């Protein structure tokens, strides 16, 4: 059976007390399902509070980034082992905002992915193009370069343990929306790249999320596409009812 994954990226929102309450509300509303994995990714300062709220539930805990080194003089950074010790099971890597605002590189995403896999955690590796790149018809070239960089030196077996989030940056918080067909075109292209790199068996096991402003209103149409295996949800994950609405769309 196809296993979807819906992850809420809370970005720089919610203090610890607010995060704990939101997580509790999501737990209360999210009925467990054998074919939907639910993940919430709060800010670092809220991880402990959210971990407490998720105890005993099927909802999983994620983080929004990590450093690839185990420890050392990296002021302001958090290691994979620190996150694992706090109960984190998933880590978002290479998010478009990290790439745009903080000069994230494909090489660093690769190092973070390897560190995450070595700790037996699941990396959610983000790829996607800007509006300028889309208008210049560079979408596939950009996605290919990001994917090849992120997966350099990663084995077929480890690739199967990863999740990819396709983020059309031009469709995030801009009012512009990718159609289900546009999203599927790139998801299918990503699946093809994975097949070339790791073979069809491994490629089929990698789940590809859509990260371009998925909402309860458009979730069902997007998720009906053959290569869209869930969503990386931004704004709609900050309210329990809208986040649950997307999860229910997956179940339907």
Question: From CA 177, how far away is CA 77, in angstroms rounded?
Answer: 34
Q: Which helix (H) or strand (E) holds 124?
A: strand 122-127
Give the model confidence (pLDDT) of 10-60 as tens digits. 999 999 999 999 999 999 998 777 789 999 999 999 999 999 999 999 999
For the entire predicted model, the pTM comes to: 0.96
Catalytic residue ranges: 95, 167
Q: What is the pLDDT of residue 177?
A: 72
Alpha-carbon 43 to chain mean position? 14
Reduced to 3 states, what is the DSSP secondary structure of residue 111?
Answer: helix
Alpha carbons 54 and 20: distance in angstroms, whole number: 9
DSSP letter for 41, please.
E
Consecutive 10-residue averages of pLDDT for the chain (252 residues): 91 98 95 87 98 96 98 98 98 96 97 98 97 93 98 98 95 78 97 98 97 91 96 96 93 77
CATH architecture for the domain at 4-251 = Alpha-Beta Barrel (3.20)
Buried b (16+ CB within 10 A) or exposed e, 69-88: eeeeeeeeebbbbbbbeebb
Q: What pLDDT digit, counting tens, does each position of 191-202 carry?
A: 999 999 999 999
Residue 40, classed as helix, strand or coil, is strand
Is the CB of residue 226 less than 8 Å from the CB of residue 4?
no
Ramachandran area for residue 215 (φ above 0: left; ψ -120 to 50: alpha; else beta): beta
Q: Is the distance from CB of 206 to CB of 195 less than 8 angstroms?
A: no
* Six-digit token string for 177: 């929306």
Query: Helix, strand or coil for residue 237?
Result: helix
Task: Report DSSP state, residue 12.
Answer: S
Write down the domain spans for the chain.
Answer: 4-251
Strands 90-93 and 60-63: parallel
């Amino acid at each position: 059976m196809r296993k979807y994954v819906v992850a809420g990226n809370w970005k720089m929102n919610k203090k610890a007390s607010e995060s704990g309450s939101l997580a509790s509300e999501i737990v209360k509303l999210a009925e467990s399902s054998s074919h939907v994995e639910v993940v919430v990714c709060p800010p670092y300062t809220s991880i402990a509070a959210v971990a407490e709220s998720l105890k005993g539930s099927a909802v999983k805990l994620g983080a929004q980034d990590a450093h690839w080194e185990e420890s050392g003089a990296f002021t302001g950074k958090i290691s994979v082992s620190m996150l694992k010790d706090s109960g984190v099971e998933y880590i978002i890597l290479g998010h478009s905002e990290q790439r745009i605002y903080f000069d994230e590189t494909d090489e660093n995403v690769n190092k973070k992915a390897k560190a995450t896999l070595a700790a037996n955690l699941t990396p959610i590796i983000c790829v996607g193009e800007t509006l300028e790149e889309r208008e210049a018809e560079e979408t596939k070239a950009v996605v290919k370069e990001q994917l090849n960089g992120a997966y350099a030196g990663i084995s077929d077996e480890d690739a199967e343990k990863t999740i990819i989030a396709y983020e059309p940056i031009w469709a995030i918080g801009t009012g512009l929306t990718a159609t289900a067909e546009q999203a599927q075109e790139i998801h299918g292209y990503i699946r093809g790249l994975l097949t070339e790199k790791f073979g069809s068996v491994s490629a089929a096991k990698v789940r590809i999320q859509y990260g371009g402003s998925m909402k309860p209103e458009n979730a069902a149409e997007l998720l009906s596409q053959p290569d869209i295996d869930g969503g990386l949800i931004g704004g709609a994950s900050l309210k329990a009812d809208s986040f649950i609405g997307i999860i229910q769309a997956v179940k339907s």
